[in-house]
Structure 1
Amino acid sequence: MAGLPERLTVISLLRHVLTSEWEMQSYVLQIRQLSESHTGINIAEVLKSAVKEWGLDKIGTRIAVTDNASNMRVAVKEAELSPHIRCFAHTLNLASQAGLKVNTVSRLLGRVRRVASFFHCSSTATAVLTTKQKLLNLPVHKLIIDVVTRWNSSLDMVERYLEQQQAVAAALLSDELRHKSREIDTLDTSDIANAEDLVKILLPIKKATTVLCDESQPTVSLISPLKQMIQDSMATDNHNSNAIAQMKAVILKDLTDRYQGEDEKFMQESSALDPCFWTLQHLGSGEREDVFERIKFKASQMQQQDQDVLPRCPHSADLDDSSVSFVPPLKKHALEDLLGSSFSSNQVTGGIQAQIDSYCKEALVSLSACPLKWWRDNAGRYPILSSLAKTYLCIPATSVPSERVFSTAGDIVNAQRSLLPCNVDLLIFLKKNLKLS
C-alpha cells in the first residue's frame, strides 16, 4: 500500500441488490495498481481483466461509474462497458468551479479571501473581531479561508463573511486595526448583493452533492430531476447583476454539455422506475411516453432471454479463487420450447404494458421513502417491472462509494500493523459489506 497516492488504482464496483431482501450493498470487485502510463487503453485492459475474472462478461449490460476524466471515458469505451454513468458529484464540482472562475466572481472571492487572511494572520485582529462579535450578539465564529480546489469551501467562506460582515466592518474601523487594515478593501453594497446571490446559487448544488453521496438509498434516479432543478435555477432575471448572470450562464452550459444522448435517456428511465419520480414532471408528455416505451422494450427483452444469469457474491472461502458461481439457468417448459416463439412474445408485451399502465396510476411516494423497499413490497403486483427496477436503482450516481474504500484502507493499513494483502482485501470487504445487528 506504500506509495498508493502516487499511482493510479482502478476500482471496479458492482452495486448488487439482494433479491430476497432488496438491500443495496457494494462489492469491491478488484483493486489493482496501474504502474504503466495512465492512458485510457491501459486502464481499459485492467477493467477487461476485472470483468472477465468476476464473470461479468456473461452479462449483457455492464455499467461503469467513473469521473469525467478523458482517459476514463476512453477506458470505458475500449472495455465495452455501457452505459457509462459519469459521477454526478464530480460533474457538479466541475460546473461550480467553472462558474467561480468568472472574472468578476473570482475578484469578489479574492477580496473576501484577503479579509479572512488578515484576521487569520493577526492575533490582535482576531481578538478585536471576537470583541465586536460579542458586542453585536453575533456567533463567535472564525472567518473561513477557502481552498481553490474545493468549490464548496468558497461557498463556506462567503457564507461566513456574510454572517460576520457587521463585526468585520466594526473591527476594521477600530483604533487598534485602522492603521493596519488600510490595504484591506471591504465589500460595498453591490458586492454584498453579489455575495448573497452567489450563496443562493451554490447552496442547492452543495445540498445536491450531499444527497448524491448517500450509500443507504438509490441515487441514480436522482440525477435527472436534480439536474433539471439546478438548470432551472440558473435562469437569469432582471435582478441579477452582470457577474451573477455570467456565472449562471457558465454553470448552465457546463452542466448541459455533459449529459446528452443515451446517457440522458438512461437517467430518465432510472427516474421513471423510481416511485418518487415516475411522473417525470420535468419532461413533456411526449418525452414521458418515449421513456416508458423504452422501459417497455427493455422489460420485454429481459423477459424473453433464454437464460437468467446473475452473479452472486462469493463467500469468504471463495475470495482467493478467480472463478465465480452463477445462478443456474431457468429450465423451459416443453410447451414454451415448442410454441414460445409464437405465443410468448405477445403475452409478455401485453403483461408489461398492463403493469406500466397500473404503475402510472400509483400515487407518488415520499421523497424520504426507499424506492427499493417499495418495489419489494409491490413485487407481487409488478413482477416484471420490479426486476427491471432492481437493475437500474442499484447503480450509484457517483464514484464516491469507491473512493471511500481508499479511506477504509487507510484506516486498516498503517505502519504498526503487518498484514498480508489477502487479509487487507478481506478486512476491507467485511468493513464495507458486513451489517452488525
Structure 2
Amino acid sequence: MTESQHETDLVPKRNSTSIVWTWFGFSPEDKAQTKVICKVCRDAVRTSDGNTTNLFNHVRRQHPNHYADSQTKRRSDTWQPEAAASSKLTQPTVTQSVNKGTPYEKTSKRWREITEAVTYYLVKDMIPIKNVENEGFKRLFKVVDPRYDLPSRKFFSSTAIPRLYSECREKIEREVRTVRFFAAASDMWSSRTSEPYLSLTIHYIHDWKLCSATLQTTYIPEDHTGELIAQGLRDALQCWGLKEENMTCMTIDGGTNMAKALELNNWTCLPCFGYILHLAIEKSVKDPRVTRAVSVCKKVVSAFSFSWKTKQDLSQAQTEMRLPQQKLIRESPSRWRSKLAMIERVSEQEKAISHVLQDEKTKHLMPTWQDTDVMESIKKALCPLRDFTDALSEEEYVSVSYVKAVLHLLKVNLLNLDDEYSELTNKIKTTVLNYLTEKYQDPTTDALLDMASLLDPRFKSQYIDSDKKESVQARAASELESMLDAQAHHQPPSTSWSPEIEEQSLPKKAKKKTLAGFFKTSGAVSSTATMSAPPTLREAIDGELKAYLSTPNANSEMDPLKWWRLNEGNFPRVGQLARKYLCIPATSAPSERVFSTGGNKVTCQRATLKPDKVDKLVFLAKNL
C-alpha cells in the first residue's frame, strides 16, 4: 500500500492547529479520536490530549526527511491551517469597535432607509405587523445589521404606515388631478369576518399608458340598498376631487343593488363581460345529462380528496400508466372554468382512476360511457371560451374595445353550429351565444362598445353594424364638438388636461413647409376652397375623423395606446375622445382583485382590524 493510500484511509484531527498533524490521523471508526496513527508508517503513537511532543519525536526518529520539512515550514510561517486561519482575527480599531456597538440614531439616513424598507415590506406583501416582535424577525436584523434598532409594533402601526399612506395618497391625488376623463369599477364584498365593504377603483390614460388606482375600501355596516351605495360612491368621488361628469362609465357585475345605484346617480353602466359569460355558461349546462356527469366528477374528486391511501394509489397508477403526475381538481361554484378543469382532469386521468376504483365498494363511482360522452361534449363547447375571460380581465392593456370583436368571433367561429358536433355540444353553444347577444343588446351598452371599437385603431368600424356606422361617426363628432366647446368656453386654461391643448393656446412660430406638406390634404376643405374662410369646428372635426377612419387599421397585435402616442399629432381631437373611452375595463376584475387583497389582510389572525386600518392597508398594497 502506498503512502498516499495510507493517508486517504485516515481521518485528520478536528480543529488541529499544529503542523505535525500533517503526518498523523485517526481511523474512521475512531469517532472520539483517541488513538493517533502515523500516516507514513501506520504505527500508533501515544500522546495526551493537546500535547504534540511525542508526535514530533516520532517524526524526528522514524521519518527524518518529513521532520526537516516540518521545521522548514514552521520557520517560514507560510503554513496556515484552516482552523488557525479562521481563528486568527484582525484586532479592530477603537473607532470600529465603538461604531459596531453604537446603534444608529433614529434621525440618521441609514435608520430611516431600513425602517422605510420594513414598512414597505409589511404593507406590500401583506405581512401582519405583529411579525416585527417575533424572535426570528428580530434575529434577522441583528445578523444583517446589528446597529439597527428595530422599532416596536406600535411605531409601525401608528407612525410608519400612516406616514406612508399619506405620501402615497398625495402622489395618487396629484396624478388623478391631471386626468380629464376616467372610468371606474366597483363592487361589494365581505371579509372573512363577514364585514361588508365597498371598493372603488379608477382607470385612466396618462401619457398614453393605461393606469389604475384603488381609491377606497369603504365599510358599509347598514343595509346594502341602491340608495346607500349610490351615496357612498358619490362621496368617494368627491373625497378625491373627481367630477362625476368626467367619469365615462362604471363597470360592475350583475348585482341589482349596484345597478340601481348607478341608475340613481345617472351614471353609465357597463356589465362585466366575465360575469355575463359565467351566467351564460351556467345557463347552458342546465341539462340533466350535464348535471349527472358533473355530479359523478365531484364524487370521484371527493373519493381522492379525503384519503391519503387513495391519493397514493392514484400516484402509483399514474406512474405505471405513464400519465402526468397531477392531482384532481375541485369545482368552485363561482368559477365556471373550475368546472371545466375538473371535467378535463377526470377525463385525462380516467385510466388511473378506474384502476384505483376497481374495488367493488368504489366501482360505482366510475363514470359510465354515457357520462364520458357528455364530458367530451362539454369540453368541445366550452374549451374555446376559456381564454377570453383572462384576456379581458387584464388591467395593463386596453380591453373594452375587444368586446365587440370577441362577440363577433364567438358568433361566426367559436360558437357556430357544426354537424360534426353532438347535439349537446350545439345546444350549449346556442344557449351561450343567445344569452350573450341578449345581454349586449341594451342600447346604452351597445353605443358605448361601438364608440370604444371606433376609437381603437385596430378595429375602427370593422365590428360595428353596417347600418350603424354613420350614426356612430356622427355621434363621435357631436361628442367631440361638445367637449371642445366646453374646454374653450368654460374650462380655465390652467386646468387643461392635454399638453396639446396647451400648445394650441400658445403663439406658434412660422414653420417652413416641407415638400411632403404640399401633398397633404384636409378631409374638411377641398382643393378648390383653399382661399375661402377657415373651416368651422364641426367641419374640422368631421375632416379629422374621416382622415382617421381612412388610415389602414393597425396590426391586431399592436398596443392601441402606443399607436395613439405615435399618431396623436395627426389626430389631436380624436385622440382626446380615445383617452375618454379606451380606459374602460371590460370586466370588474379590478374590484375582485381588491377582494383578494382584502381577504389577505383580514385573516383569522387579524380579525380585529378596524375598517379604517383595512382601507389604508388595502390602499397601500394595491397602489405602491
TM-score with structure 2 length normalisation?
Answer: 0.58
Aligned to 1:387: 576
Please say which of residues 217-226 and 121-130 is displaced more in the overlay. 121-130
Distance 1:110 1:417 in 2: 36
The 8 Å contact of residues 229 and 258 in structure 2, kept in 1 or not, is answered as yes
Task: State which of 463, 483, 487 in structure 2 corresponds to 1:302.
Answer: 483
Distance 1:293 1:273 in 2: 13
Tell me if 1:74 matches 2:74: no
Aligned to 1:106: 291
Aligned to 1:364: 553
Task: State which of 217, 235, 250 in structure 2 corresponds to 1:64.
Answer: 250
Aligned to 2:427: 246
- The alpha carbon displacement at 1:62 in A equals 4.6
The 8 Å contact of residues 220 and 393 in structure 1, kept in 2 or not, is answered as yes
Taking the TM superposition and a 5 Å limit, the aligned residue runs for 1:335-350 are: 347-350=536-539
Please say which of residues 344-353 and 224-233 is displaced more in the overlay. 344-353
Classify 1:209/1:303 alpha carbon distance in 2 versus 1 (closer, same or farther; 3 Å): same
Deviations 1:341-392 (A, max 9, x none): xx99952222222222322233333444321121111110110111100110
State the number of aligned residues. 401
Aligned to 1:269: 451
Aligned to 1:432: 622
Secondary structure of the corresponding residue to residue 374 of structure 1: helix
Aligned to 1:230: 410
Secondary structure of the corresponding residue to residue 15 of structure 1: strand
- The alpha carbon displacement at 1:302 in A equals 1.6
Classify 1:295/1:200 alpha carbon distance in 2 versus 1 (closer, same or farther; 3 Å): farther
Please say which of residues 260-269 and 197-206 is displaced more in the overlay. 197-206
- The alpha carbon displacement at 1:245 in A equals 3.2
- The alpha carbon displacement at 1:98 in A equals 1.8
Classify 1:72/1:362 alpha carbon distance in 2 versus 1 (closer, same or farther; 3 Å): same
Distance 2:419 2:359 in 1: 38
Secondary structure of the corresponding residue to residue 257 of structure 2: helix
Structure 2: which amino acid aligns with 1:78? L
Please say which of residues 417-426 and 387-396 is displaced more in the overlay. 417-426
Aligned to 1:401: 590
Deviations 1:231-254 (A, max 9, x none): 443333333333333322332232
Task: State which of 187, 195, 205 in structure 1 corresponds to 2:385.
Answer: 205
Cα RMSD between the aligned structures? 3.4
Task: State which of 100, 115, 127 in structure 1 corresponds to 2:300.
Answer: 115
- The alpha carbon displacement at 1:60 in A equals 5.4
Structure 1: which amino acid aligns with 2:432? I
Query: Which entry has the higher C-alpha Rg, 1 or 2?
Result: 2
Task: State which of 31, 40, 47 in structure 1 corresponds to 2:233.
Answer: 47
Aligned to 1:314: none
The 8 Å contact of residues 416 and 429 in structure 2, kept in 1 or not, is answered as yes
Aligned to 1:219: 399
Distance 2:393 2:240 in 1: 26
Deviations 1:263-318 (A, max 9, x none): 112112111211222242x44433333332322222222222245889xxxxxxxx
Distance 1:167 1:308 in 2: 74
The 8 Å contact of residues 215 and 619 in structure 2, kept in 1 or not, is answered as no
- The alpha carbon displacement at 1:48 in A equals 2.5
Identity of aligned residues (%): 30
Classify 1:35/1:102 alpha carbon distance in 2 versus 1 (closer, same or farther; 3 Å): same
Give the structure, 1 or 2, with the largest relative contact order (CA under 8 Å, sep 6 or more).
1
The 8 Å contact of residues 9 and 32 in structure 1, kept in 2 or not, is answered as yes
Aligned to 2:318: 133
Secondary structure of the corresponding residue to residue 317 of structure 2: helix
Aligned to 2:146: none
Distance 1:103 1:344 in 2: 72
Structure 1: which amino acid aligns with 2:622? K
The 8 Å contact of residues 65 and 397 in structure 1, kept in 2 or not, is answered as yes
Secondary structure of the corresponding residue to residue 333 of structure 2: coil
Please say which of residues 127-136 and 257-266 is displaced more in the overlay. 127-136
Aligned to 2:70: none
Distance 2:535 2:197 in 1: 48
TM-score with structure 1 length normalisation?
Answer: 0.80
Secondary structure of the corresponding residue to residue 486 of structure 2: coil
Tell me if 1:195 matches 2:385: no
Distance 1:11 1:424 in 2: 11
Distance 2:609 2:361 in 1: 56
Aligned to 2:197: 9
Distance 1:244 1:14 in 2: 39
Secondary structure of the corresponding residue to residue 390 of structure 1: helix
Aligned to 1:320: none
The 8 Å contact of residues 450 and 464 in structure 2, kept in 1 or not, is answered as no
Aligned to 1:340: none
Aligned to 1:376: 565
Structure 1: which amino acid aligns with 2:344? E
Classify 1:102/1:292 alpha carbon distance in 2 versus 1 (closer, same or farther; 3 Å): farther
Secondary structure of the corresponding residue to residue 12 of structure 1: strand
Task: State which of 196, 215, 222 in structure 2 corresponds to 1:29.
Answer: 215
Distance 2:415 2:607 in 1: 51
Structure 2: which amino acid aligns with 1:12? L
Aligned to 1:180: 361
Distance 1:121 1:427 in 2: 37
For structure 1, the residue ranges without an aligned partner over 5 or more in a row are: 311-324, 334-342
